[in-house]
Structure 1
Amino acid sequence: MNLPLFPLQMCILPNGYSKLRIFEPRYQRLVKESLKNDLGFGACMLDEDNKTLLPIGTRCNIIDFETLDDGLLGITIVGIDRFELGTYTIEKDGLKRGNVSALPAWQTLPIEAHQQKYTQILQDLLKEYPEHISQYKLDNFMDLSWVCQRWIEILPISPSEKQHCMSAKDPIPTLAMLNDVLK
């Protein structure tokens, strides 16, 4: 699959939501293209130097857009599925377009009693952002894989640490990190 790519300093994972401000013409073009096709676009994190695209990204769809107070375009995106980035090209206006291969979704896993703290702390944190938490269903907080993906999005860890968790076949590496961080 070939997707236009949006390099970001943050990450979004499947079923995650985020808002972005669009001001560069190349990303305005990305938005127009994404709204016309069913594939969406690829969100790729940048490395610690903000120069290199990291190999694991997320295919996203635009679910809402608005004109912001400053006149810029604001979009709301949702993560669809993870991918591995292969080769990419850079077009004349600087828009990157990459060949991506979909990665399998993490299996839905029930939250066990000793893991309830991850859900509770996450819900408490997200309550500070009512517009954000309103995008999620209560059932989502009962799925360990979903909860771990939200933690990857918000933890203040390096892009390489996030990539390590994102590239895993399951949430186990994220759980190990959460155990260390939340002690």
Structure 2
Amino acid sequence: MKLPLFPLQMCILPHGYSKLRIFEPRYQRLVKESLKNDLGFGACMLDEDNKTLLPIGTRCNIVDFETLEDGLLGVTIKGVEKFELGTYTIENDGLKRGNVIPVPSWQVLPIAEHQQKYTQILQDLLNEYPEHISQYNLDNFMDLSWVCQRWIEILPISPSEKQHCIAANDPKPTLAMLNDVLK
């Protein structure tokens, strides 16, 4: 599958939501293309130097858009599925378009009693952002994989640390990191 790519300094994963401000013509074109097709676009994190696209990204759909107070385009995006980035090209206006291969999602896992703290702290944090938490179903907070993905999105860790967790076949590396961070 070939997708237009949006390099980001932030992370979005399947079932995650985020808002973006669109001002560069190449990304305005990406938005127009994404609204016309069912595939959406690929969101790829940049490395620590903001120069290199990291190899695991997320296919995203635009679920809402608005004109912001400053006149720029604002879009709300939702993560659909992870992918592995293959080769990509750079078009005349700088828009990157990459070949991507879908990566299986983490299996839905129930939250054990000793893991409830991850859910509770996450809910407390997200309650500070009512517009954001309203996008999520409360049942999601009972899925350990979903909870770990939300933590990866919001933790202030390096892109390479996030990429290490994202590239894993399950949330175990994320749980190990959470144990260290939330002590």
**2:105 is equivalent to residue 108 of structure 1:** no
Please state whether the residue corresponding to 2:128 is helix, strand or coil. coil
**TM-superposed deviation, 1:121:** 0.2
Task: Provide TM-score, normalisation by structure 1.
Answer: 1.00
How far apart, CA to CA, are the structure 2 residues paired with 1:49 and 1:180? 25
Separation of aligned partners in 2, 1:169 and 1:76: 28
The CA distance in 2 between the partners of 1:21 and 1:159, in whole Å, is 21
Superposed counterparts of 1:146-161, under 5 Å: 146-161=146-161
- The corresponding residue for 1:48 is 48
1:110-125 aligned within 5 A: 110-125=110-125
C-alpha distance in 2, partners of 1:168/1:87?
21
Match of 1:78 in 2: 78
TM-score of the pair, normalised by structure 2: 1.00
What residue in structure 2 maps to residue 15 of structure 1?
15
Write out the 4+ residue segments of structure 1 that deviate beyond 2 Å after TM superposition: none
Q: Which runs of 5+ in 2 are unaligned?
A: none
Report Cα offsets for 1:4-40 as digits up to 9, x if no partner.
0000000000000000000000000000000000000
Deviation for aligned residue 1:48? 0.2
Give, in whole Å, the separation in 2 of the partners of 1:40 and 1:170: 25
RMSD of the alignment, in Å?
Answer: 0.3
Query: What count of residue pairs does the alignment treat as equivalent?
Result: 183
Deviations along 1:108-152, whole A, 9 cap, x unmatched? 000000000000000000011110000001000000000000000
Structure 1 match to 2:181: 181
Distance 1:50 1:145 in 2: 28
C-alpha distance in structure 1 between counterparts of 2:176 and 2:81, whole Å: 23
Deviations 1:81-129, CA, capped at 9 Å, x for gaps: 0000000000000000000000001000000000000000000000111
